Amino acid sequence: MTRFKEAAGPTPSCIPIERIGESLTPEEHAHMRTCARCQTELALWQQFESAAPAKDEGAAVTWIVAELERRAGSPQRQKSAPSRRWGLSGQWLAAAASVALFVSVGYLMWDREPAIRNPGGTTGQYRTAQLDVIAPLGDVAAAPREFSWKPAAGAIRYDVRILEVDGTVVWRTSIAEPRLVVPPDILSRFVIQKPFLWEVTARDTADAAIGSSGTQRFRVVDSHRGG
């Protein structure tokens, strides 16, 4: 078992975890093809990033979210600035102090969390796990009738979610093409000055997430008045 732990552990040539979901260099991509450890990290990251719900976990996740909001003193979809925040709550500060002490001891005993490192000016990068979106992005002059992104190799389906900024899902759909035409009832919800978030996840024949756009933002601005 010891020998397998060594075999399953990271090697000096392994891709840093904080780079797993980012643009990979050709060298990193070649390493990924043969490294069980890096493939494992990618699979875990894809599951985290895609956030695709599984059967029978909806109620539990809803409870956990509500519990986090309760503990942070942040009522769901609060519109005004909450008085008790992650950084201010006395309860949180006490908990943070306890956790900090425990984690600090843990750090000394175990390994350290990897810092986010600069990729280092590599050239010739290409996208693997990250989907490049085309539109809409940022402030747009009119309600977007179409959402588009660059196709991902091996993708047979794209799951698209459009959300309000508080996380309320406006529309969720799947499509085979890397573009999505917005139906009129959804289009009418893109009112001027209201920001929206959207994300797209590419899936392969095994329904595995093979790419994600991350959360993108857009807002329709009044072109006569500007943003």
* Closest CB to another protein among residues 97, 187: 97
Task: Give me the least distance between CB of 172 and another protein, in Å please.
Answer: 13
Parallel/antiparallel/unpaired status of strands 216-220 and 138-140:
parallel
Q: Exposure string (b/e) for 80-113, b if CB count within 10 Å is 16 or more? A: eeeeeeeeebeebeeeeeeeeeeeeeeeeeeeee
Which structure tokens are listed for 127? Answer: 């996208």
Q: Exposure string (b/e) for 134-165, b if CB count within 10 Å is 16 or more? A: eebeeebeebbeebbbeebeebeebbbbbbee
Q: Which of residues 168-187 bind another protein (CB under 8 A)?
A: none
**x/- track of binding to another protein for residues 52-91 (CB under 8 A):** xxx--x--xx-xxx-xxx-xx-x------xx--xxxx---
What is the total count of residues that contact another protein (CB under 8 A)? Answer: 76
Contacting residue, 24, 45, 159, 190, with another protein by CB under 8 A = 45
Q: Which of residues 194-223 bind another protein (CB under 8 A)?
A: 195, 214-217, 219
* Among 197, 194, 198, 196, residue whose Cα is nearest residue 221: 194
Residue 101 near another protein by CB under 8 A = no
146-149: strand order across its sheet = 133-135, 146-149, 179-181
* Closest CB to another protein among residues 7, 191: 7
Residue 151 near another protein by CB under 8 A = no
Task: Give me the least distance between CB of 225 and another protein, in Å please.
Answer: 15
Which structure tokens are listed for 209? Answer: 């997430």
Q: Which of residues 121-150 bind another protein (CB under 8 A)?
A: 130
Residue 115 near another protein by CB under 8 A = yes
Contacting residue, 114, 153, 179, 222, with another protein by CB under 8 A = 114
